[in-house]
Amino acid sequence: MSYTIIANLAVFVGLIILLAKFSKGDMKLSRKVFMGLIVGVAFGFALQFLYADGGAAIIAGTLEWTNVIANGYISLLYMIIMPLILVSMIAAVVRIDEVTSLGRIGGMVVGVLIFTTMISSLVAIGVTDLFSLTADGLVSGDKEAARALVLEGRVDRVSDLSVASMLVSFVPRNIFASLSGAAGPMSIISVVVFAVLFGVAALKVMKENEEHKKSFLHFVDIAQAIVMSLVKMIMSFTPYGVMALMTKVVAGSSLADILNLGKFIVASYVAIAIMFVVHGGLLTLTGFNPRKFFKGVFPVLTFAFTSRSSAACIPLNVDAQTRKLGVPKSIANIAATFGATIGQNGCAGIYPTMLAVMVAPTVGVTVDFQFLATLVMIVTINSFGVAGVGGGATFAAMIVLPAMGLPIEIVALLISIEPLIDMARTALNVNGSMTAGVITSRFIKVGEASATEQPAE
């Protein structure tokens, strides 16, 4: 390790110490996270500026060690995701008095997620046309060529993934494999299915035996309290994790690549911004104040932006819905969990739609009403089961593009700017799940076995 890298890491550690010093006391987590984001961006730009000429090895060496904190923090979040989903979903189900209420909640949450994904696909079509985006002129470099080879190896795994086979993959064959993530992208939704079935079975047993009901509810409360305590411990590291993640994103991105593909970046952010407005409009129609909503979910969106993982946001997602927005815990758990794998507006809606519309003219496909209607339908259907981690948009595009008879090479050509767009897409995905939770709570009044949490003042 060179002395320059050691000096960079000393500065990084010093910034962490300063961040810890200035974020003590009763400061809100959102402010701490925002401070971490700003510090990470500044340090990342400093690395880019100082080592712009021939310093790629120094930046890579520095990021290798700063990524210990970034990747370590993300690993902690992944560690808690499956236990949190399992316990929270079981708790959500057993707190609902009637199984019919569970069906109505789940159905409405999924309905809102799918409806907003359909809208996001239409928005993507309009924005792509507005900016006159096309795949013509995209130049493939070494990184893109390498990524293309990887995608060619992966496309066979998803090209035959029909709607029927996808639905079957939701049902876990081995719950332990799903809990460990070994079941692949469908692991999360498989755990959800198991937890819901387990909760329904528990409801039936509790109705038959009052003693079992008291004991089981007591056990669930204890298990949930322990898991949430662990979540809070991990959340306390968020400002430092965000700082390291932003350092990685900013310092690891090529300014030249960003400028070359700037039009696509701007168009993507415009489409994402429009969908945030759509979410606010839907909330307004249900009588919920959008200003209160966005104020309450800002810390969650900040973390989603930096972590690029909808699944990793589940703890903050549930917490924001229950404490800030007044959503019953049972609905919040279902919305946050479903939203991590179903109907992701950014990754499953906007991204594959934009790529399809850009690529179609380059291979002689006419972009007419029939093409667009088919595209929206395929995007909406295939929005089920998109993995709630970084790269979920790539998975969605690899399903949609072949389904439309289009090549997937463009996915590899956009690798240089993928992290920059994925940050905003993830924030939109998470915002969509919280919007679904709030809308569902406005229409469905839940009778729960324990008192519903009220929003914090």
Cβ contact 86:195 at 8 Å = yes
Q: What is the pTM of this model?
A: 0.69
Closest CA to 71 of 304, 245, 240: 245
Residue matched to tokens 């120094």: 58
Closest CA to 121 of 330, 448, 432, 412: 432
Q: Which two tokens stand for residue 284?
A: 């307004």
pLDDT (tens, 9 = 90+) of the chain, 457 residues, equals: 788 899 999 999 999 998 888 876 677 776 787 788 889 889 988 888 888 777 788 988 999 999 899 888 878 877 887 887 788 778 777 766 555 567 788 889 989 999 999 999 999 999 999 998 887 655 454 454 445 544 454 445 444 555 566 667 778 888 888 888 776 656 767 887 888 889 889 888 888 888 888 888 888 889 888 987 887 888 788 888 888 888 887 787 666 656 657 888 899 999 999 999 999 999 999 999 999 999 999 989 988 888 778 877 888 898 899 999 999 888 898 898 888 877 889 888 999 999 999 988 887 888 889 889 989 988 887 776 555 555 567 767 766 887 787 876 676 566 556 777 888 999 999 999 999 999 999 998 765 544 334 433 3
How many residues comprise the chain?
Answer: 457
Residues 6 or more apart in contact with residue 368 via CB below 8 angstroms: none
Domain ranges of the chain: 3-443
Tens-digit pLDDT profile for residues 350-378: 999 999 999 888 878 888 898 899 899 88
DSSP letter string over 315-332? HHHHHIIIIIS---HHHH
Closest CA to 433 of 353, 323, 347, 337: 337
DSSP letter string over 82-110? HHHHHHHHHHHHHTBS-HHHHHHHHHHHH
CATH superfamily of 3-443: Sodium:dicarboxylate symporter (1.10.3860.10)
Burial 171-180 (b: 16+ CB within 10 A, else e): ebeebeebbe
CA dihedral 137, 140, 144, 149 (to 10 degrees): 110
Alpha carbon separation from 344 to 56, 106, 217, 361 (Å, rounded): 35, 16, 33, 26
Closest CA to 207 of 33, 15, 449: 449
User: How far apart are alpha carbons 258 and 411 in whole angstroms?
Assistant: 16
User: How far apart are alpha carbons 320 and 231 in whole angstroms?
Assistant: 14
User: How far apart are alpha carbons 106 and 336 in whole angstroms?
Assistant: 11
Cβ count within 10 A of residue 365: 15
Amino acid identity, position 444: I
Residue matched to tokens 């696509």: 264
